[in-house]
Chains A and B, each alone.
Chain A
Amino acid sequence: MRLDRLDRWLGIGLAALALAWLGLAFAYIPGARGEGEPGPRAFPILLGVLLFVLGVMLAAAGFGSARRRAAPAQEIEPPTRREAAVAAGTFGLLMLYAFLLEKAGFVAATPVVILLAMRGLLGLRAWLLNLSMAGGVTAVCWLVFVVLLETPLPRGSWWWLL
């Protein structure tokens, strides 16, 4: 993808985000109560306007450099399918970890997530390595954070099912 094209779309996207932000700010944040006091809405509106201006500047720069074509356009690498899958997978893994942490607790959630990361995201088939990582990291974290640093970690809420 060409950089000027990215600038154009990014600029348009940011301007749209700024307009949505301004709409939300006007709809949900009350204005000033007294005279001379800017109120809680002033700063969000200022930021929305700033983002809109920056978005327009970025889009204009993208359109401008496309029109000039003085220098060869800079190419940027679009994300590959693998990259998109790894990014989505990492995000999904973090969401799953948060969910399991609350429901099953740290001791049950951590090995599951590590095994999923090793097998699913990294494609490692060495089960001995995978299992020792899952067990080892969980045990070390438990020892360091719970026993040594006395950090309260979640125990989960699914235990009543047993």
Chain B
Amino acid sequence: MVAALIAALQPEAIAATALGSVLGLFFGSIPGLTFSMALALMLPFTFGMPAVPAMALLLGIYVGGMTGGSVSAILLGIPGTPSAAATVLDGHPMARNGQAGVALGAAVIASAFGGLFSLAVMMMLLEQVSALAIRFGPAEIFALVLFGLSTICGLAERSMVRGLVAGVLGLMLMIVGLDELDGVARLTFGTVQLQQGVNLLVAMIGLFAVPHVIAMFLDHGRGEPRRVPHGVRARLPSLAQLRQRLWLMVRCAGIGTGIGAIPGTGGPIAAFLAYDHARRFSRRGERFGEGELSGVVAPETANNAVTGGAMIPLLALGIPGDPATAVILGGLLIHGLQPGPMLFSTHIETIYALYMAIVLAYAFVLAVQLWGIRVFVRVLEVPPHLLAVCIVVLCVLGSYAIRNSTFDVYLMGVMGLLGYLLLRLRIPIAPVVLGLVLGETLERQYRTALILSEGDHRIFVDSGPALFFYALTALTVGLHLLSVRHARRR
């Protein structure tokens, strides 16, 4: 624990956490930019760093991004991230009523509370969950990854078939390159650069950032520039206000942590569930939507509590629940931190250092939001089209830095075009990334299991844990189909 504390408090790690938190706040607060994009853009630049500062940078972006969405939600009425959509409902009316400072202060306190609550839960559960996973063989891991892929349902937005198409396209992209088990080149057509396959990060930068850049270029000249209120200062809510809402914050943090632990759900669902919960059980339910403080506290607690919850399947089982955690998984793997049971026996100091980095990140976010908010809201006035030009440069630098290869820059451009076309065809992008991330493990475990059983497919249904994961997969798909049918009837 002491060694972990020392690692987390090295100047390099502190600087990385601070930089990550500010970058996350920046990307999270500007509508149109996402912190998943920030994570994908910054990951290549962590290659040369030691594991703790590198992961502290990424976790800082994750924490800052989740919190930053509330700034534009409250001040502009536009959520900076989808997770902050529920915060608009009462946060913006509060700003219109001249209470922007209290809303911002409450949002940041609630965010820190939710994040730290979920971190505590994560610390308690992680080792137990990963201890279970140590008994898993290839068939169980295959079933587990299949369950991870079933989260495509949650990421599929409007149409499940389109979501599945996206997932299959991601898996197909993963096929290209040298086959790990047989050493055979698959669909490389003699191209040496393709033998290493489609790099996950290159694909993520292209798929996430380029369609956003195109949208920002297109928005140039449309509509009026954003008007940000001047002289805004975050004000902490009074102790009495906080005490009145403490139990609500605990409940919403529980909702956020639980939702976050289910892959494929994420911040928006948690925030809206918490908002609805707060409205339903409040004595002032009729005031929700007109600028009620609990309407800011509840969603902000829940969406930040998702961060710790999402880390449980990520660190214990290697299952990312959303695009942001998929990038963090990429970061863990690059720095030699293979998620799963062995992580806690081989890298326990690093893991404890990362817990501390999350605590530090919340401290930085709190400080920036409380004392630097007046400078920070100026960021919202930067014209988006100029940011788009900077993002083009960052996309190219990021994809080049991964393997020092201009081929990757070309590939990133192609992935960007693919991402744009998919969005135009109403095919969601997140399942493509999920397919790319999980595909390799799915195929490797499937083939390894069959090699072990000498081709007998019964190996996949012979074990209890595997059947449990198949049942979870069926439940996830079934529940999604039911909710789609319910929504259509309404």
Contact = CB atoms under 8 A, between A and B. Distances in A.
Interface of A: 6, 10, 14, 21, 24-25, 28-30, 33, 35-40, 42-44, 47, 50-51, 54-55, 57-58, 61, 76, 79, 82-83, 86-87, 89-91, 93-95, 97-99, 101-102, 106, 110, 113-114, 117-118, 121-123, 133, 137, 141, 145, 149-154
Contact of B393 (A40, A57, A141): A141
A154 B400 contact: yes
B386 interface: yes
Interface in B175-199: 175, 179, 181-182, 184, 186-187, 189
Q: When A and B form their complex, which 7 residue pairs have the shortest distance between CB atoms, in order from nearest?
A: A36-B455, A94-B413, A98-B409, A36-B454, A40-B179, A102-B406, A43-B443
Contact of A37 (B213, B386, B451): B451
B467 interface: no
B172 A21 contact: yes
Contacts of A113: 392-393
Contacts of A141: 393-394, 397
B217 A37 contact: no
A74 B468 CA distance: 40
14 contacts: A28-B189, A30-B182, A30-B184, A36-B453, A40-B181, A40-B182, A51-B165, A87-B420, A95-B410, A106-B397, A114-B393, A137-B393, A141-B397, A149-B45
Contacts, number: 155
Nearest to A37: B451
Contacts of A21: 172
B149 to A, nearest CB: 12
Contacts of B450: 36-38
Nearest to A50: B168
Given A83-B218, A151-B48, 20 more contacts: A10-B425, A30-B184, A35-B454, A35-B455, A38-B446, A39-B182, A47-B175, A51-B165, A57-B161, A58-B162, A58-B165, A86-B217, A89-B217, A90-B214, A91-B413, A101-B396, A101-B400, A101-B409, A117-B389, A133-B386
Nearest to B169: A51
Nearest to B211: A87
A151 B447 contact: no
B401 interface: yes
B397 A151 contact: yes
Interface string B379-404: 00000011001101111110011001
Please tell me the size bucket of the interface on B: 35 or more
A29 B171 CA distance: 16
Nearest to A134: B389
B424 A122 contact: no
A65 to B, nearest CB: 12
Contacts of A133: 386, 389
A28 B187 contact: yes
A122 B217 contact: yes
A55 to B, nearest CB: 8
B4 interface: no
B417 interface: yes
Interface in B435-490: 443, 446-447, 450-451, 453-456
Nearest to A25: B187
A90 B213 contact: yes
B226 interface: no
Interface string B408-429: 0110110011001000111000
Given A47-B175, A114-B389, A149-B48, A97 B409 contact: yes
A90 B210 contact: yes
B168 A91 contact: no
B220 interface: yes
Contacts of A55: 165
